[in-house]
């Protein structure tokens, strides 16, 4: 497992903040690229919608076709991308990644280090279905572990979201094992 800096401060007091992502395989791509790679692949999305049509129709609240559901999800992926670009650009003005991420557990109100977190475009889409999963280091620093199309209340209810939950826990344990608890521990000093 490796860790990749996607954007954030390169120097100064906030050096190392921003968004990081886990690379699970040395020769593979990191979790953030992998997530958007899937969300922008019509064939992958189409297959997913075909295999999860009942969940999708329940989540959309009406009898949507595979084709239309796939297109809506792809547009949501793009909205998520826009939001992340905006946050990256506005980081210097005090916008934090907490505008997109919140604790994974809805009942949890405290923001803690190494907290399992979820991100979505809730502010622009009424009923978002996409999630970015991450481990929180501080308000401006998150480590992305993956993402999913979440259509059920609990992640354990479907194999693909259950897998994302297990990945998050595995990454948190790995970070602890590496002695990484705070943003400062991620900073790459020359």
Residue 60 burial (10 A CB sphere; 0-12, 13-18, 19+): middle
Which is nearer to another protein, 111 or 187 (by Cβ)? 187
Whether 154 contacts 165, CB under 8 Å: no
* Smallest separation (angstroms) from another protein to the CB of 151: 19
Nearer to another protein, 152 or 174 (CB): 174
CA distance 82 to 186: 26
Given the complex with another protein, which of 16 and 161 has the nearer CB atom? 16
Least gap, CB of 120 to another protein (angstroms): 17
Q: Minimal distance in Å, beta carbon 43 to another protein? A: 5
* Per-residue DSSP letter, 127: S
CA distances from residue 159 to 34, 43, 72, 140, 156 in whole angstroms, order as listed: 18, 20, 22, 30, 7
The owner of tokens 């000093």 is: 189
Question: Residue 89 or residue 154: which is nearer to another protein going by CB?
Answer: 89
Q: Which spans of this chain sit near another protein (rule: CB under 8 A)?
A: 1-7, 21, 23, 30, 32-33, 36, 40-43, 45-46, 65-67, 70-71, 74-75, 78, 81-82, 84-85, 88, 178-180, 184-189
Q: Which residues touch 99 (CB under 8 Å, ≥6 apart)?
A: 83, 87, 123
Q: Closest distance between another protein and the C-beta of residue 74, in Å?
A: 5
Question: Least CB distance from residue 85 to another protein, whole Å?
Answer: 5
Identity of the residue, 40 or 108, whose beta carbon is nearer to another protein in the bound complex: 40
Helical ranges in 90-158 per DSSP H: none
Q: How far, in Å, CA of 153 to CA of 182, rounded?
A: 31
């Amino acid at each position: 497992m490796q860790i990749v800096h996607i954007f954030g401060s390169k120097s100064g007091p906030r050096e190392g903040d921003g968004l990081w992502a886990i690379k699970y395989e040395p020769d593979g791509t990191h979790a953030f690229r992998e997530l958007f790679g899937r969300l922008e692949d019509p064939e992958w999305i189409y297959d997913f919608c075909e295999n999860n049509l009942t969940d999708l129709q329940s989540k959309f609240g009406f009898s949507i076709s595979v084709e239309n559901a796939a297109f809506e999800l792809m547009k949501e992926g793009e909205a998520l991308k826009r939001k992340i670009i905006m946050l990256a650009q506005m980081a210097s003005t005090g916008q934090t990644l907490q505008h997109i991420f919140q604790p994974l557990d809805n009942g949890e109100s405290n923001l803690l280090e190494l907290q399992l977190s979820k991100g979505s475009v809730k502010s622009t889409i009424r009923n978002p279905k996409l999630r970015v999963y991450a481990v929180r280091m501080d308000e401006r620093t998150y480590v992305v572990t993956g993402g999913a199309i979440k259509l059920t209340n609990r992640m354990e209810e479907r194999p693909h979201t259950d897998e994302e939950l297990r990945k998050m826990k595995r990454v948190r344990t790995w970070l602890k094992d590496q002695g990484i608890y705070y943003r400062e521990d991620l900073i790459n000093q020359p």
